[in-house]
Amino acid sequence: MAQTRSGPDRPLVQAVRSELEAAGDPVKAGPMQAYMKSDLPYRGVQSPGVKRICRDLFAAHPLATRETWDATVRALWDQAKFREERYVAIALTGYKLYREWQDLGSLELYDHLVTTGAWWDYVDEIAARRVGPILRGHPESVTPVLLLWSRDNDIWRRRTAIISQLGSGEAVDTKLLAACIEPSLGRPEFFLRKAIGWALRQHARVDPDWVRAYVNRHGPELSPLSRKEAMKHLR
Domains (ranges, CATH) in the chain?
Answer: 1-101 (1.25.10.90), 128-235 (1.25.10.90)
152-169 tens-digit pLDDT: 999 999 999 999 999 999
Is the pLDDT at 232 greater than 80? The verdict is yes
80, 86 Cβ separation under 8 angstroms: yes
- Higher-confidence position of 122 and 2: 122
Distance CA 45, CA 122 (A): 16
Is the pLDDT at 10 greater than 90? The verdict is yes
Rounded average pLDDT over 98-120: 97
First to last CA, the chain: 66
DSSP state of 99: G
Distance CA 54, CA 16 (A): 8
Mean pLDDT in the chain?
Answer: 96
pTM: 0.94
Instruction: Using only the alpha carbons of the chain, give its radius of gyration.
Output: 19
Percent of residues in the chain assigned helix, strand, coil, to nearest 5? 70, 0, 30
Our measurement of the distance from residue 24's CA atom to the centroid of its chain's CA atoms, rounded to an integer in Å, reads: 24
Distance CA 74, CA 80 (A): 9
Please report, for residues 8, 9, 100, the alpha-carbon distance to residue 65 in angstroms, rounded to integers and kept in the order given.
10, 10, 11
Is the pLDDT at 145 greater than 50? The verdict is yes
Is the pLDDT at 233 greater than 90? The verdict is no
Q: What is the percent of the chain with per-residue pLDDT over 70, rounded to a whole number? A: 97
Rounded average pLDDT over 101-118: 97
